[in-house]
Structure 1
Amino acid sequence: MTNYFRSNVDAMASYIPGEQPPRGTPIIKLNSNENAYPPSPAALEVLRNIDGEWLRRYPEPFGGEFRQAASKVLGVPSDWIIVGNGSDELLSIVIRACTEPGRKVVYPMPTYVLYRTLTEMQAADILEIPYEEDYSLPLKELISADGSVTFIASPNSPSGHVVPTDDLRKLASQLSGVLVIDEAYVDFAEENALDLVQEYENVMIIRTLSKGYSLAGLRLGFGVANPWLLDGLFKVKDSYNIDAIACAVATAAINDQAYKNACIAKIKVSRTQLASDLKQLGFRVWDSQTNFLLAQPPQGNAEYLYQKLKEQKILIRYFKQPGLEDKLRITVGTDEQNHTLVQALNNLLETRKY
């Protein structure tokens, strides 16, 4: 059979997203960290009133309407913002623009595994540095590695922890390459690193509307960085990477901060309650500044629980990789969903005692 692929593509493994059951499937879905609540009513109103002319014409190539809105919300100039088809596209743009064979991409592990997949696509070198057991940043090793691109997810998945801004500042000041701080879950956190883009021209903050704004199906993310850095990234961006509908809906959503903040507040309360309930069942639960929890079952039987919950139409996330094989990542759902999950776990743990 003919092999049509580059050698690095042929050798790499595919990224495996969380399972997405068909719409309408009666299932409790707590595996992909989607927001438990619907999008802003203002965003839905824009969607209901889409003008066919928006579809006939090509969209504005840089997402100008959204850039202006995000500029006002974040307090940064609009020309410091790049818009992408989800934050994943922006990760890809950075790697395409800044790496090649012989140039390193560096990040601590465990973290978002798409970093590895995107790097392998470019046949760039990969250096994965283990987190400390307490998830403190391996700062010395990251500085020594001095990657062409260094990725730090903060808050991090699957651990849920935030990297202190002072650690990120030390890292940025001593790297010669680009430091990408992936803040996909920042809306659920108590601090962020946005100020660093003003301090260091090699720092880029990446955010998404998938999590805090309940728009995972829309596919819109954005990055903030010095215009000098963005100029290089725009060179490898697709011509019309943001569709007109996504731009309009996302603009309405980011302008509705009151609604977003109200949903975030509810999720934080539910997160605290779910963590408490899991601890009562004997789970070890890591502190989280995200909309999910990393939890270690008392019997260490994470894969078993994942499979049994799936049989009961409850989806959570299990990663069969070093350091995570005895843990589960659980999205914070509605209080009703969380209660159903806890009851199911309690029954499964009781059954395994006998």
Structure 2
Amino acid sequence: MTDRLAFARALYDAVPLYDPKRAPVELDLTDNTNLWGLPPTAERTLRELAVSRITRYPSLYAAELKEALAQFVGATPECIVTGCGSDDILDSAMRAFGEPGSVVASSEPSFAMIPIFAQMNGLQYVGVPELPDHQPDLDALLAANPRILYLCSPNNPTGAVLKRETLERAVREAPGVVFVDEAYAEFSGVSAVDLAMRVDNLLVIRTMSKAFGLAGLRVGYGIGATPLVRDVEKSRGPYKLNSVAEQMALAALRHDMQWVHEHVTLAVTNRERLAAALRDRGYTPLESHANYVCVPVARAVEVGQALRARGVAARPFPGLPHVGDTLRISVGPWELVEQFLVAFDDATADVYGAAS
């Protein structure tokens, strides 16, 4: 018996399972989720949810949630598509707009699932290293003649925001659809939604997993011209957002926005405090507009392993273009950041001391 099924699609032979190798630890700062907990009304909604919400199918296309999301982002409901996390929107959109063999081009480093989604959908992935200022190399990306051009703002893992003139040129000159992933937009205050409302080839992808603290519910959404999101919705299909997720997301949008704004402010404040603490230790963190700090750290994989040995996890990114090895550290309540800093001091002393 072989590992490969005779009826399997050949293109799936090269598709890896996404596996970031995250063993449980006491303090996990690797996934940039909200470490302050649930928005209060959303939590109450979970506790009081009617049984009928579970025993019956959810709404077809989350029409009520689309209305609330549209009000939140400054769009109209017919310009919104929802999904099971922003991953679902990205995958469905690639299926909707990518012809077999056409190119998905992305700046690198960026979201690790993009080349995987491209492979899954029979598309050709082209990765282009970013420029030294952490902006995408748009000339090289456009030269790839992409059917789909993926950009991320703030970018994961660097935290850089896409310059508006770069985005506008991308939308103007791209031969196909431009995706802008705004998973961390709430922390930057910068968004392309207004542009997406004026053009027909820009899809903005967002999530309620970060600022809203609902990562376990997998609520993602896309914003774009009505014909654009309609095709994503066709690709995605009905009943893809479960009832619990829809009701909790609605509660957060309708009643918990003050809580969300307060904790976004806390995250930004603690991001800057963490960056300052790292600078005090002689490091040079990258300027971040998200809820994490990416900092160049020599032998980052080894430092990450030493941190895990102390019950703390940060995400190593070895060999980033123009930067080298880095650690990406999620921010949360300051006492958790302090716990990280103590472990980081010990871990770096162990790793660098062992080399001397």
Q: TM-score, normalised by structure 1?
A: 0.94
Indicate the residue corresponding to 2:198 in structure 1: 199
SS at match of 2:165: helix
What CA deviation, in whole Å up to 9, does each residue of 1:320-349 have, x standing for no partner? Answer: 455476111111122111111112222333
**Contact 1:18/1:317 (CA < 8 Å) preserved in 2?**
no
TM-superposed deviation, 1:240: 0.9
> Once the two structures are superposed, what CA deviation does each residue of 1:29-51 show, in whole Å capped at 9, x if it has no partner?
10111112112101111111111
Deviation at residue 53 of structure 1 after TM alignment: 0.9
Structure 2 Cα separation of the partners of residues 218 and 233 of structure 1? 20
CA contact (8 A) 1:65 1:248 kept: no
**In structure 2, do the counterparts of structure 1 residues 322 and 338 end up closer, same or farther at CA, with 3 Å as the change threshold?**
closer
What corresponds to 2:109 in structure 1?
Answer: 110
1:166 aligns with 2:169: no
**What CA RMSD, in Å, does the superposition of the two structures yield over aligned residues?**
1.6
The CA deviation string for residues 75-123 of structure 1, in whole angstroms up to 9 with x for no partner, is 2110110000000000000111112432110110010010000101112
User: Residues of 1 paired with 2:231 and 2:103: CA distance?
Assistant: 18
Greater mean deviation of Cα atoms: 1-10 or 74-83: 1-10
Any stretches of 5+ residues in structure 2 without a counterpart? none
Aligned to 1:330: 329
Q: Secondary structure at the match of 1:327?
A: strand
SS of the residue aligned with 1:326? strand
Letter in 1 for 2:16: A
Counterparts of 1:206 and 1:30 in 2: how far apart (Å)?
23
**Match for 1:146: what amino acid?**
N
Residues 132 and 121 of structure 1: CA distance in aligned 2, closer, same or farther (over 3 Å) = same
The correspondence of residues 141-290 of structure 1 with structure 2, limited to 5 A, is 141-255=140-254, 256-290=256-290
SS in 2 for 1:204: strand
Are residue 47 (structure 1) and residue 41 (structure 2) matched? no
Amino acid at match of 1:306: G
Amino acid aligned to 1:280: D
Q: In the alignment, which residue of structure 2 is the partner of 1:13?
A: 16
Alpha-carbon distance, 1:147 to partner: 1.0
Deviation of residue 237 (structure 1)? 1.2
SS across alignment from 2:288: coil
| 8 A contact 2:300–2:317 mirrored in 1 | no
TM-score normalised according to structure 2 size? 0.94
Q: Does the residue aligned with 1:180 lie in a helix, a strand or coil?
A: strand
Please give the alpha-carbon distance, in whole angstroms, between the structure 2 residues aligned to 1:347 and 1:20: 20
CA contact (8 A) 2:96 2:231 kept: yes
SS state at 2:236 partner = coil
The residue aligned with 2:306 is 308
The answer to whether the Cα contact below 8 Å between 1:306 and 1:317 also exists between their aligned partners in 2 is: yes
Offset of 1:18 from its aligned partner? Answer: 6.2
Shift of 1:142: 2.1
Amino acid at match of 1:199: R
Q: Which moved more, 1:106-115 or 1:341-350?
A: 341-350
Q: Which runs of 5+ in 1 are unaligned?
A: none
| Mapped contact 1:173–1:200 kept (Cα < 8 A) | no
Checking the alignment, whether the CA contact within 8 Å between 1:182 and 1:207 is kept in structure 2 is: yes
SS state at 2:345 partner: helix
- Work out the CA distance in 1 between the residues paired with 2:126 and 2:75: 32
What SS does structure 1 have at the residue aligned with 2:209?
Answer: coil
- Could you tell me whether the CA contact under 8 Å between 2:318 and 2:326 is conserved in 1? no
Cα distance 1:267–1:223, how it changes in 2: closer, same or farther (>3 A)? Answer: same
**C-alpha separation in 1, matches of 2:324 and 2:176:** 33
Q: Structure 1 stretches (4+) deviating beyond 6 angstroms?
A: none
Give the counterpart letter for 1:257 in structure 2.
Answer: M
Whole-Å Cα distance in 2 between the matches of residues 18 and 292 of structure 1?
Answer: 20
Percent identity, please: 28
The CA distance in 1 between the partners of 2:11 and 2:344, in whole Å, is 42
